[in-house]
């Protein structure tokens, strides 16, 4: 299943973009062209193009702009294995050691959690057995 999400600026953002664009066009016409010549012409043309794109994106009928496609996990498995079941996927195969946590550090963290009252004595004992069982 694919879902398409389109982002389109609201009319207020488009109006603000047009207003700032007009200011840059005027600066280009009256300041930059007389002072810098060819660079001023380039500046003014870019300001015109950007202002026109802002106006079209905000007020035009047809949408031109970024589009994001979101694919659900069922359409594209995370692994190329044909027997992969996304519903049964879990991350049990990722051990704490792969994150650089030694059993000693894990036990210390567990003790800190218990002392802070964030886990119960039962949870502490269960996790402690699990960590020691991984040795």
Place of tokens 């930059």: 32
In this prediction the pTM is: 0.44
Average pLDDT per consecutive 10 residues, the chain (135 residues; last block may be shorter): 63 86 95 94 95 84 65 53 52 53 84 87 90 83
At 60 the pLDDT is: 78
Residues 27 and 64 occupy one common structural domain: yes
Same structural domain, 7 and 67 = yes
Rg (CA), the chain: 29
**65 shares a domain with 115:** no
- pLDDT at position 9: 65
Q: What is the structure's pLDDT at 4?
A: 62
Q: Could you identify the residue written with the tokens 């700032």? A: 20
Do 118 and 67 belong together in one domain? no
**67 and 105 within one domain:** no
Q: Is residue 81 part of a domain?
A: no
**Quick one: 65 and 112 in the same domain?**
no
Q: How far apart are CA 48 and CA 36, in angstroms?
A: 18
User: What domain range is 129 assigned to?
Assistant: 96-133
Nearest residue to 9 (alpha-carbon basis) of 65, 49, 52, 62: 65
């Amino acid at each position: 299943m694919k879902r398409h999400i389109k982002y389109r600026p609201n009319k207020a953002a488009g109006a603000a973009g047009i207003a700032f664009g007009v200011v840059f066009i005027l600066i280009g016409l009256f300041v930059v062209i007389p002072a810098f010549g060819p660079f001023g012409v380039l500046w003014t043309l870019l300001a015109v193009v950007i202002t026109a794109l802002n106006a079209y994106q905000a007020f035009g009928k047809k949408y031109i702009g970024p589009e994001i496609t979101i694919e659900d996990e069922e359409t594209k498995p995370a692994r190329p294995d044909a027997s992969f079941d996304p519903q049964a996927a879990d991350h049990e195969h990722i051990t704490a050691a792969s994150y650089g946590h030694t059993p000693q550090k894990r036990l210390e963290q567990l003790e800190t959690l218990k002392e802070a009252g964030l886990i119960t004595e039962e949870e502490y004992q269960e996790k402690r057995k699990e960590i020691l069982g991984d040795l």
